[in-house]
Amino acid sequence: MINYGIIGFGLHAVKRLMPGFALAKNCRVTALSRRDLAKAQASARQFDVPLAFDSTEKLCRSPEVDAVFVATPNVCHLEDVLVGAACGKPILCEKPMAINADQCRQMIEAARNAKVLLGVAQVFRFEDSTAWFRERVAAGNVGKPVFARSEFSFRVDRTHPRTWINDPAIAGGGPVSDVGVHCIDALRFILQDEVLRVSGRQIAGKPGGVEAGAALLLEFSGGTLATVTVSFRAQYRTPLELVGETGILRAEDALNVDRPIQLELRRGEVVETNTVSNHLAYARQVDAFAAAVEGKAEFAIPGEEGWRNQQILDAAYRSMKSGKTENV
């Protein structure tokens, strides 16, 4: 049984992580941290977590913590990972891994030098829906992939609980980095291919803030062209579609974890349907990292995968600024 400490116990921990840990089989939460000790203690009481701290270092030095889950705002990821590595703790870092690719490199080097495991929480790799797409592409059920489309939208207004989400100094970017990274990683995972070039256009947000939305064109090495569209101004939706030379795979809300997903394989008409649930994705993610900490298996999303995603994000932001196609 692996004991986790959650660094930055906020909305994501309450809404997603703790329900995931409740379903996990080989790990549990024994500590949490928030900047305000009184709030940390209140959260610990609410979720029956034994230990509460007001700093990353105090949590990481606890002998009751075997591994840490970094769930702080994006700008804090680098420092939190460096502290975790210095304390010798395996680290599972929330996406996006960092603010830029150079920070990712620093994190990977620190973990390597400390000989600790570093993983990135790209949770959709643990979904049944993405597995279904990946398996059918690999089996050749749609022939050579030609086009792919992934969208992730949700509304952000002044009342959004993540008060920092529109601040570029804390978030690093808007929906491209917040949820576009999910779309990019899911497409890389499904296609088992890498992005070479990115073209991007944005919908401007408030002056001095992050983008409100964007459309990206990803050019994969195997020839597939993929579009990623993201927004903070549209209702929650995560459609995913892949068009191959002989068939089409699609799902209206492929990446969601809250309700069942209807999957379709078409060849002119629907030839296969399947309904899956992704409700175990967060539990599978923390159990998989726990297994890696115990040396029982390799974790599927090491820091290098997060670094690669960040390089694609960086190219997207360069393109949105330059108006040109940018190499990854």
Residue pLDDT, tens place only, 70-79:
999 999 999 9
- Residue 261: helix, strand or coil by DSSP? strand
Per-residue burial over 35-54, b if 16 or more Cβ lie within 10 Å, else e, is eeeeebbebbeebebebbbe
**225-265 pLDDT tens trace:** 999 999 999 999 999 999 999 999 999 999 999 999 999 99
Burial 112-121 (b: 16+ CB within 10 A, else e): eebebbbbbb
Residue 206 has a pLDDT of 87
Structure token pair of residue 19: 């329900």
pLDDT at residue 29 in the model = 98
pTM over 0.75: yes
pLDDT of residue 162: 80
Q: Tell me what pLDDT residue 253 has.
A: 94
Confirm if 327 and 315 have CB atoms less than 8 A apart. yes
| Contact in structure between 244 and 196 (CB atoms under 8 Å) | no
Q: Where are the domains of the chain?
A: 2-121+283-300, 124-278
**Sequence-ordered alpha helix ranges (H) in 33-95:** 37-47, 56-60, 77-86
The set of residues, in sequence order, having a beta carbon less than 8 Å from that of 80 and lying 6+ positions away, is 7, 8, 56, 68, 70, 72, 91, 93
Helix or strand (DSSP H, E) at 67: strand 67-70
The percent of the chain in helix, strand and coil, each rounded to the nearest 5, is 40, 25, 35
What pLDDT sits at residue 131?
98
Architecture of the domain defined by 124-278: 2-Layer Sandwich (3.30)
Q: Are 124 and 205 in contact (CB under 8 A)?
A: no
Q: How far apart are CA 189 and CA 196, in angstroms?
A: 15
| Spatial CB neighbours of 263, under 8 Å, sequence gap ≥ 6 | 129, 132, 133, 249, 250, 251, 254, 273, 274, 275, 276
pLDDT score at 249:
98
Cα 268 to Cα 69, 244, 253, 272, distances in angstroms: 45, 12, 21, 12
Question: Prior bond to 90 cis, omega within 30?
Answer: no
| Fold classification of 2-121+283-300 (topology level) | Rossmann fold (3.40.50)
Please spell the DSSP secondary structure of 124-139, one letter per residue: GGG-HHHHHHHHHHHT
Residues of the chain below pLDDT 50: none
